[in-house]
Amino acid sequence: MDIRAQVSMVFHLDKCIGCHTCSIACKNIWTDRQGTEYMWWNNVETKPGTGYPTQWEDQEKYKGGWERDSRGRLKLKLQGRAGALTNIFYNPSLPTLDDYYEPWTYDYKNLFDAPEGDDQPTARAVSLVTGDFMDTLEAGPNWDDDMGGSEVYAANDPNILKSLSESEQQSLKNLEQTVFFYLPRICNHCLNPGCVAACPTGAIYKRGEDGIVLISQNRCRAWRMCVSGCPYKKTYFNWSTGKSEKCILCYPRLESGQPPACFHSCVGRIRYIGMVLYDADGIEQAARSPDDGLVDAQRALIKDPYDPEVIAGAKRNGIGDAVVTAAQNSPVYKFVKRWGLALPLHPEFRTMPMLFYVPPLLPVIAAIRDGQYETTAGMETAPADETGPNLNTVDKARIPMQYMASLFTAGNVDKIKHVYHKLVAVRMYMRSEQVGDQKEEDVQEALRRADLTPEQCISIFELTSLPTFEERFVVPPMERERAMDGELPPLDPYSRKAAGGFGFRDAPARRF
């Protein structure tokens, strides 16, 4: 057992209001330079929708992440060594600027300084790449915002196309079935990152003390394989500097004890950050699991920070007591491991992402059939104006469970249903305690089905609705000084052989 420490995150989607404050906070700090105009390291998408860049989830097009071969071995979906050499000067799977958008500004000078005349002066759009005037604006970072159910965006969502039948797709287009929710995305800082494995020069690496994935601007040679190798498309190419860049999880802030800017500025307080301890020896085996077992395999990698054997393993690898204590107090461990509520986004990409999501309950409730709401208790129906508190959220969902399973459980419908049963049970129990409008037998049945106790419901409610700043952001000392002095293990979090991705290449020499 090789115990390592990893900064991990949870986003609670029921609390996201789609305000994009996180995006602007990130943009103001990190991407205000030439060549970074389209680099939305922190973007908020509307689901169902095509996302940013367009249809990034379609790995038949972009070839990101990992896949199992016929013998169950793990390999990059993009290419192997021979493919890297063949395509080193041409990458057919690379997203184009049109898949993002051509960034622009406006000719404000003409608007403000135009001479007096009969016509109203205008500020035409000007490309920030070429400097030429643009006749039409066709896309942007949140172009499909609030467009759930639309023919243009939601209808082309890869998850809808691959997981729903034609009749289910048509039902979502009915006005009363139209539904959307917000999906904020940043770099997942994966345990088995495809970008690291795809880079021919070894410019991308994981920091040993916290697992943050970074790109060395000195070693980057602009091959851009990392852009294709990342299935989440969170690595971007700076056309001005000729280097790749990505989210660095605001590690200078973390090293000073502050959460990342997007976490700090989040209006809905949906973001949680903390340390987890995991077994690096189990990464490859977990990533090779069948699709329906990927969520459980990834959860199994995260170890109990109170286990004496795990603590001893952490200390053998130079992980200090303060980091272990932070892992014990981590909100991420509670949501992911203890309660089983938070799920990885597209685990079938097999990168073992360290950003987890609590699925949204709101888009699923209030299913309507023949003008009536369908309720949970007994699955009976009630007129829309007489709806009780037990709105159905699982068995007769407003949005099919197959869609949510495609997003968060690699298609395992039973797994996503169990998470929703937990969310429903917490809501029913707290309503019974605070409002008193729930039948006791319904509450007990919900708790039994969700495998929850009343004490767990209260804990989940408190961390979801009433957390303090210190409870949401458990930022330990990153021990960067010890790492710089060579007191911690080498910066690659696995073995030397596996640091660049399993079976692809050796890890680069350690550089600070």
Across 145-159, 190-204, 434-448, the highest mean pLDDT is recorded for 190-204
Residue 502 has pLDDT above 50, yes or no: no
Which class is domain 21-103+138-247?
alpha beta
Residue 196: pLDDT above 80?
yes
pLDDT tens per residue across span 202-224 = 999 998 888 999 999 999 999 99
Task: State the pLDDT at residue 83.
Answer: 67
Length of the chain: 512
H-type alpha helices, 270-328: 283-287, 294-301, 308-316, 321-328
Alpha-carbon dihedral 185, 187, 191, 196, rounded to 10 degrees: 140
**Local confidence band at 467 (pLDDT 50, 70, 90 cut-offs):** very high
CB 401 within 8 A of CB 394: yes
- Structural tokens at position 53: 């860049």
- C-alpha closest to that of 42 among 193, 182, 169: 182
Please state the domain extents for the chain: 21-103+138-247, 360-469
- Which residues are CB-neighbours of 509 under 8 A, at least 6 positions away? none
* pLDDT tens string 53-75: 999 999 999 999 999 888 888 99
Between 88-92, 264-268, 364-368, 446-450, the lowest mean confidence (pLDDT) is in 364-368
Q: Which residue did the predictor score with more confidence, 400 or 133?
A: 133
Beta carbons within 10 angstroms of residue 155's beta carbon? 16
- Residue 176's pLDDT is 65
Highest mean pLDDT range out of 229-243, 395-409, 481-495? 229-243
Could you give the residue ranges of the DSSP H alpha helices within 104-157? Answer: 108-113
**270-292 pLDDT per residue, tens:** 999 999 999 999 999 999 999 99
Give CA–CA dist 402/338, Å, rounded. 25
Q: DSSP of 166-234, one letter per residue?
A: HHHHHHHTSGGG---EEEEE-----SS-HHHHH-TT--EEE-TTT--EEE-TTT--S--HHHHH-TT--
Residue at token pair 């003390």: 209
The pLDDT of residue 509 is above 90: no
360-469 has the same fold as 21-103+138-247: no
- Where residue 303 falls among pLDDT bands split at 50, 70, 90? very high
Angle between helices 454-465 and 413-434 in degrees, nearest 10:
90
Whole-number pLDDT of residue 51: 92
pLDDT for residue 366: 57
Q: Kindly give, in sequence order, each residue whose CB lies less than 8 Å from that of residue 366, ignoring residues fewer than 6 positions away.
A: 373, 387, 391, 398
Rounded mean pLDDT, 338-354: 96
* Whether 414 contacts 387, CB under 8 Å: no
- Return d(Cα 276, Cα 286) in angstroms, integer: 17
Phi, psi (rounded to 5 degrees) for 280: -65, -25
Strand-strand pairing, 3-12 and 271-279: antiparallel
* Nearest to 280, CA basis, from 208, 203, 204, 357: 208
In angstroms, the Cα distances linking 109 to 32, 105, 125, 128, 190 are 21, 11, 12, 15, 45
The pLDDT score that the predictor gives to residue 365 is 58
The answer to whether the pTM exceeds 0.85 is yes
CATH code matching the domain that covers 360-469, chosen among 1.10.3650.10, 3.30.43.10, 3.40.50.720, 3.40.50.150: 1.10.3650.10
Partners of 66 in the beta sheet?
76
Confidence of residue 175 (pLDDT cuts 50, 70, 90): low
Task: Round to the nearest angstrom and report the end-to-end CA distance of the chain.
Answer: 27
What CA–CA distance (Å, rounded) separates 203 from 206?
A: 10
Which among 180, 475, 471, 190 is positioned nearest to 335, based on CA atoms? Answer: 471
The residue type found at 496 is R
- What average pLDDT is seen over the chain? 85
In terms of pLDDT, which residue wins out, 168 or 340? Answer: 340
Confidence of residue 1 (pLDDT cuts 50, 70, 90): confident
What is the distance between the alpha carbons of residues 99 and 252, in angstroms, rounded to a whole number? Answer: 31
Please return the burial class of 415, using the count of CB atoms within 10 Å of its CB with bins 0-12, 13-18 and 19+: buried
Rounded CA-CA distance 189/209 in Å is 13
**Lowest mean per-residue pLDDT among 131-140, 228-237, 489-498:** 489-498
Question: Per-residue confidence at 480, pLDDT binned at 50, 70, 90?
Answer: low
Residues 6+ apart with CB under 8 A from 488: 208, 209, 317, 318, 479, 482
Is residue 392 pLDDT above 60, yes or no?
Answer: no
Q: In Å, how far are 22, 223, 256, 343, 465 from 438, measured between CA atoms?
A: 37, 60, 47, 29, 20
**Rounded Cα–Cα distance for residues 211 and 254 (Å):** 12
